[in-house]
Chains A and B, each alone.
Chain A
Amino acid sequence: MTKMEFLNELRSYLHKLPVSDQEDILSDYETHFEHGLGKGKTESEVIQSLGKPKLIAKECLADYYIEEERPERPSSRRFRSTYMLIGLGLFNLIFLVGPFIAFIAVVFSFYVTAIILCMIPLVALASFFIVEPIEGVFSLFVSFICLGIGLLMWTGLNRFSKVVYQWFIRYIKSNYKIIKGEAR
């Protein structure tokens, strides 16, 4: 067997490995040959002492499979997702939670305003009976305007908050995906 035959045979046994690993392994043996030949050994002497390519390949593949089977990858993924979780958590806490609460508060206050506007006719009706009727009629008309505005606000807010709710869900989902490592 010559050096080339030896290396080719070894390569043929390693075809299951990633190409970069194959190249690494083969270059180790190529260098070994060069060293050996440099020390005055013949190719066949070097091959003799190296052992059979099949045996060498078996060693390489065994190491490779052990590595594949080792739960190191999932656990490192778990590690990474823990970091992601902490990172996202901090990001959300610092940049999003405050504005989000403020936003919710604003929306809530608009809702309250709408409810109050809708209830104004009741007050006006009461004043119509208690206070003077003429002034009461005026305030009754004004209160109907308020009711109109209140109802419009209510429906507008409903639509708006539905959209925001969808965004919110989408954002939560994307966070979840990032943590699970599905996103880039």
Chain B
Amino acid sequence: MNVQFKKGVLTLCVLVLAVKRDRYGYELVDAISEKFLIAEGTIYPLLRRLTKEGYFTTYLVESQEGPPRKYYQLTDEGRNYAQGLVKEWKSFSASVNQLIEEGIEDDKDGILE
């Protein structure tokens, strides 16, 4: 997959995952790598960038059954950003789906099946 595209999607995923509740790093990595194949290590730089850009704030929580957890909390700015990205994604994916549907309809030879 195109690197820039993947980065954009990853950003979207990370933000969306943190909408409902604060997440810690490993949790985010786990949730995303469950869905699709990525180099998990690239999520941490992404989190750092989003934090630096003011979309996340972080706090540490000591945990009894493991290492300390660095939680990522969306800021208001982050929420707005997530909202915008989701909107963009929806219209984008709708367009792509439409093109695919049309492709399948025209596909007499069943190549796309």
**Chain A interface (Cβ within 8 Å of chain B)?**
24-25, 28-29, 31-32, 34-36, 38, 49-53, 55-56, 59-60, 63, 67
Q: Which residues of B contact A55 (CB under 8 A)?
A: 39, 41-42
- The count of residues in chain B whose C-beta lies closer than 8 Å to any C-beta of chain A is 22
Contact residues in B for A63 (Cβ distance below 8 Å): 45, 48-49, 52
Q: How far is the CB of A58 from chain B (nearest CB, A)?
A: 9
B66 touches A35 (CB 8 A): yes
Contact call B44/A32, Cβ cutoff below 8 A = yes
Contact check: which of B45, B65, B68 meets A60 at CB < 8 Å? B45
Cβ contact within 8 Å between A28 and B44: yes
Chain B residues with Cβ below 8 Å from A51 are: 38-42
Contact, CB under 8 Å: A31 / B45: no
Name B's interface SS: helix
Interface pair B70/A31, CB less than 8 Å apart: yes
Within 8 A of A (CB), among B29-46: 29, 33, 38-42, 44-46
**Does B89 interact with chain A (Cβ within 8 Å)?**
no
Cα–Cα distance between A132 and B80 once the two chains are bound (Å): 97
Number of interchain pairs (Cβ within 8 Å): 64
Beyond A25-B48, A29-B44, A59-B45, 15 additional contacts (C-beta under 8 Å) are: A24-B48, A25-B44, A28-B25, A31-B26, A31-B70, A34-B67, A38-B66, A50-B39, A51-B41, A52-B41, A56-B39, A59-B46, A63-B45, A63-B48, A63-B52
| CB pair A67 B41 closer than 8 Å | no
Q: Knowing A24-B48, A35-B26 touch, does A29 contact B66 (C-beta < 8 A)?
A: no
Smallest CB–CB gap between A40 and chain B, Å?
Answer: 12
A46 closest partner in B (C-beta): B40
* Contact between B67 and A35, CB atoms less than 8 A apart: yes
Kindly list chain B residues whose C-beta atoms are within 8 Å of the C-beta of A32: 25-26, 29, 40-41, 44
